[in-house]
Structure 1
Amino acid sequence: MAAAAMSRMRSLAGVAPLVVAAAVLVVLCSGSTAAGPLEIGFYNKTCPAAEEIVRAETARIVRVSPDLAAAFLRLHYHDCFVQGCDASVLLDSTPNNTAEKDSKPNGSLRGFDFVARVKDKLEKACPGVVSCADILAIMARDAVMLARGPSWPVALGRRDSRTSSAGSCGDLPPLHGDIALMIQSFAAKGLDVKDLVVLSGAHTLGKAYCPAFADRLYATAGYSADPALDSRYADRLRMRCTSADDTSSTAATELDPGSCTTFDTSYYRHVARRRGLLRSDAFLLDHRFTRAYVLQAATGRYDGHFFHDFAVSMAKMGSIGVLTGDQGEIRKKCNVVN
C-alpha cells in the first residue's frame, strides 16, 4: 500500500505553475460553494489595494523579524480549527469570558500586535471594509511566500466572529495525540489524511519551547521517554530541557533545525530520520500514506510537488466554517467586537 501511495504521489510531481494555480482555484471555488461566497478579488471594488497593503506591511515585519512568518501561519491555523476561520483567536478575554488566545493550547501564539498594525493600515485606507479573518488568511499566505515558499490565490469575503471561548480550543489537533486522533481531528474539519501530512510541513518554519516536547525526553505520569526519537537528538534536547516539566528555559528549539525561517522540505528529512521535534511529527511515520509522503518529500526531489500540495491544503483549511454575507461583523479593531 505504501508503494502504491508513493507511485500515485510521484505521478503528480513536477506540476507546472499554471496548473498549480488552476488546481488551487478549483479548490477555492468548490470550497466557497459549500462554505459561502468567498471570492478571488472580493475587495476589488471596495478596497482595491487591500492585498497589496497587507503584503507590503507583512514584508516589512518579516524583513525585520523573519521568525514571525511562522507566527502568522500558526495564527491562521489556530483560528481556523476553532469555530472556523473567523478571527476569534484575536479577541481579548473579558471579565466574564476567557477567550481562545488565553487558553493553554494558544499560550505560545505570537504576532497579535502585528496583525493589529496591518488592520490599522487597512482602516486608514478603507474603513470598515476588510475583515480580520481575511487579514489572517492573507498574512499566512504572504508569510509563506516571504519565507521562499509557494504563493496561492486567497479567496476572500470572511467576516469576523463576535464570540471567542477558551473552552472551544479542544477542537485543535492534539499535540500529544497519536496518528488516529490526528486524522480524526482533521476529518472533523473536512480535511483528509493528505491534508494532515501536507499541513504538518508548516513545521519547516518556527520554534517550540520545552513544554511542547519535553515529555518525549523523560518518563512522566502517563508517558514514557519516546523510543521513536533518535537517541543522539534526544541527548541534545535534554541539554535544553532539564526535566519533563521544565518551564524555566527561555531558549526555543527549531522545529526544522538549520532552516526554521525558510519554507522547504527539510522538515520531512528530519522526520524521516526520527528527529521530528513533536510527537505529532513522529506519528507521521505510523500511517502508510503519511509515511510514504514523508519519505518522498525527504528526498528533496519533490519540492514543487509539496509546494503545490501545500497551496491546495491551505486553501481548503482557509474555508473551514467561514462567516459570510450578513453573518458576524467587520471588526474595527481585531481584538474587540464593535
Structure 2
Amino acid sequence: MAVIVAFLSSLLILSVISTPGNSLSLNYYDQTCPNAESIITNAVNEATQTDKTVPAALLRMHFHDCFIRGCDASVLLNSKGNNSAEKDGPPNISLHAFYVIDNAKKQLEASCPGIVSCADILALAARDAVVITGGPTWDVPKGRKDGRTSKASDSLQLPFPTFNFSQLQQSFSQRGLSIKDLVALSESISSTRQTTSDPSIHPSFAASLRNICPVHNKVKNAGVTMDPSATTFDNTYYKLILQKKVLFSLDQALLTVTRSKELVSRFAASKEAFWQAFTKSMIKMSSIAGGTGSEKGLLGWSTRDL
C-alpha cells in the first residue's frame, strides 16, 4: 500500500496535468481554501454513517459526470423550463446522493465563498468514497471549472450495460482512456439493475436472480446487489467476472478480448494490482477537460438551476 501511494505521489509531483479546458494542480486551493479537502471528507463521512450506499453512488456520479462534456459538474445541474438536464436522462435516473455534494458546497461557501468548484468537490468526494470503503487513496489534481450546459440527451453517450467490447473500447478511447483504464474503472460504472438476462451468466446465478427480482417488481428502481462486498472496495468484482456471476453483458465482455481478460485475471488475483491500476485510471479520467467558466463565475452552487 505504501509503495502504491509513494509511486503515485512521485508521478504527480513530476507533472502537473494540463489540458485545453483545465489546468490542474495538487496545491490549487492551498492559499485560497486550505481546508477544502477536509471539509469534503467530513461531508462524505457523515453521509456514509447513515447510508452505506453513498460511497458507491458518489463514485458512479463522478464517472457519469466526466464521460459527458468532461469533469464539469454538469450532472449536478437541475432541469429548468423546456430543458431536461443530464441527471434526468435515462442512464442517470438511478443516480443519488446529490445532497452530499450540496452539503459539502454549503460548508465550503461558509468557509471560503466563491472558490471551490463543484467539479472539484465531486472529484474529491469520489476519492473519499473509495477511501472510506477500505480502498486506496491518491492525491487529486484540482482546478476544474464548472459548466452551465447540461442536456438529458447527452447522457446517452454513457456506456450501455449491453455494450460489447468494441463499443466499450471506442467509448473509452474517445475520452483518451486505454483498455487498462477501461478494465480498472469497470466496477465503478456497473449498475445494480438489469432488465434482460445475459446468456453467458452462470445458470445457478441467473436462477437465483429470477427468484429475487419478482419480489421487487413493483418498486421503482428496484434491483439486486451484484457484488456481495458492494460496501467494501476490493477486487471481488473481477473474481465474479471469472465465475460468470455478473449481471451485464458489458461486464462479461471483458473476457472476450485477450488483453482485457489478462487484466481481469490479474486484478482478480491481486487486490494491490487492481488498486494501483485503479488510482492511476481515476486520476486520468478525472482530469478529462470539462467546464471553461471563470474560477468564480460558474460555480455549480450558484448555477444548479439552468
Q: TM-score, normalised by structure 1?
A: 0.84
Mapping of residues 45-84 of structure 1, within 5 Å: 45-84=31-70
Residue 196 and residue 25 in structure 1: after superposition, are their counterparts in 2 closer, same or farther (change >3 A)?
farther
Mapping of residues 93-242 of structure 1, within 5 Å: 93-202=79-188, 208-209=192-193, 213-216=194-197, 226-242=198-214
Equivalent pair of 1:240/1:249 in contact (CA under 8 Å): no
What displacement does 1:255 show? Answer: 2.3
Determine the C-alpha separation between the residues in 1 that align with 2:201 and 2:287. 35
| Residue matched to 2:279 | 311
1:18 alignment partner, one of 6, 31, 34 = 6
Determine the C-alpha separation between the residues in 2 that align with 1:144 and 1:187. 24
Name the % identity.
38
1:252 alignment partner, one of 223, 248, 252 = 223
Structure 1 gaps, min length 5: 1-12, 217-225
Equivalent pair of 2:5/2:138 in contact (CA under 8 Å): no
| Residue matched to 2:75 | 89
| Residue matched to 2:289 | 321
Residue 16 and residue 145 in structure 1: after superposition, are their counterparts in 2 closer, same or farther (change >3 A)?
closer
What displacement does 1:85 show? Answer: 0.5
Determine the C-alpha separation between the residues in 1 that align with 2:220 and 2:83. 30
Determine the C-alpha separation between the residues in 1 that align with 2:279 and 2:268. 19
Structure 2 gaps, min length 5: none
Q: Does 1:281 align with 2:251?
A: yes
TM-align CA RMSD:
2.4
Equivalent pair of 2:22/2:290 in contact (CA under 8 Å): yes
Determine the C-alpha separation between the residues in 2 that align with 1:297 and 1:304. 8
Q: Does 1:331 align with 2:300?
A: yes
Equivalent pair of 2:48/2:55 in contact (CA under 8 Å): yes
What displacement does 1:170 show? Answer: 2.2
Residue 16 and residue 58 in structure 1: after superposition, are their counterparts in 2 closer, same or farther (change >3 A)?
closer
Determine the C-alpha separation between the residues in 1 that align with 2:282 and 2:38. 20
Determine the C-alpha separation between the residues in 1 that align with 2:24 and 2:159. 25
- What's the secondary structure of 1:75's corresponding residue? helix
Q: After the TM superposition, which segments of 4 or more aligned residues of structure 1 sit over 6 Å from their partners?
A: none
Deviations 1:229-270 (A, max 9, x none): 000000001112349xx564765311212x110000111110
What displacement does 1:325 show? Answer: 6.8
Deviations 1:202-232 (A, max 9, x none): 36xx8613xxx2311xxxxxxxxx3210000
Residue 14 and residue 121 in structure 1: after superposition, are their counterparts in 2 closer, same or farther (change >3 A)?
closer
Equivalent pair of 1:35/1:319 in contact (CA under 8 Å): no
Deviations 1:254-297 (A, max 9, x none): 1212x110000111110110011222111111111111111122
Residue 297 and residue 135 in structure 1: after superposition, are their counterparts in 2 closer, same or farther (change >3 A)?
same
What displacement does 1:36 show? Answer: 2.7
Equivalent pair of 1:207/1:252 in contact (CA under 8 Å): no
Determine the C-alpha separation between the residues in 1 that align with 2:153 and 2:220. 28
Determine the C-alpha separation between the residues in 2 that align with 1:194 and 1:293. 7
- What's the secondary structure of 2:137's corresponding residue? coil
Determine the C-alpha separation between the residues in 1 that align with 2:21 and 2:255. 32
Determine the C-alpha separation between the residues in 1 that align with 2:272 and 2:177. 21
Determine the C-alpha separation between the residues in 2 that align with 1:105 and 1:117. 24
Equivalent pair of 2:162/2:249 in contact (CA under 8 Å): yes
Amino acid at match of 2:230: C
Equivalent pair of 1:133/1:159 in contact (CA under 8 Å): yes
Equivalent pair of 1:38/1:324 in contact (CA under 8 Å): no
Equivalent pair of 2:73/2:300 in contact (CA under 8 Å): no
- What's the secondary structure of 1:254's corresponding residue? coil
Amino acid at match of 1:306: F
Equivalent pair of 2:147/2:292 in contact (CA under 8 Å): no
